Amino acid sequence: MIDINNTTKSAVDKKLFTGLAKIILKGENKQIDLSVAFISPKEIKKVNKKYRNKNKPTDVLAFERILKISNLAEVVICSEVAKENAKKFGNTFKKELLKVFIHGVLHVCGYDHEKSKREAKIMEEKENFYLSKI
């Protein structure tokens, strides 16, 4: 199951994100029920503070297996932060939003770029691979 919720004023192509999630989960051989939430900078700041002790908005947060007895994972995205980052990194908004989505889904698949440089390189290569599938 892939469930996409948008609580923002920005339009979200649910079909595109659902299809991309299916490609990634199949490619990574993961059986995960995925919940994706698009939320405001104010809301993601609260979540970032609560779970990472960082008092600022971020583009994406990922939570593996929300309940230990289930396969439910969640990716939380802030489109507004992604839009700011797109300008900063010279990407289109659509490309940046897709990148942060892929990044979040890879996190719930078990990848962690903060573990090591090697893991970061693997994750970046995976991000580029799945971005090329769109």
pLDDT band at 69 (very low <50, low <70, confident <90, very high): low
Number of domains in the chain: 1
What tokens were used for 104?
Answer: 């979040």
CB atoms under 10 Å from CB of 78, counted, come to 29
Write down the pLDDT at residue 130.
97
pTM of the model: 0.92
- Residue 133 is labelled as binding a ligand: no
> What range defines the domain where residue 65 resides?
2-131
Please tell me the least confidently modeled range out of 14-23, 64-73, 122-131. 64-73
Q: What CATH number is attached to the domain comprising 18?
A: 3.40.390.30
pLDDT tens-digit series, residues 4-26: 999 998 889 999 999 999 999 99
Write down the pLDDT at residue 66.
65
- The DSSP symbol for 37 reads E
- Residue 103 is labelled as binding a ligand: yes
pLDDT tens-digit series, residues 100-115: 999 999 999 999 998 8
Angle at 45 between CA 88 and CA 94, to 5 degrees: 40
Angle at 66 between CA 60 and CA 68, to 5 degrees: 150
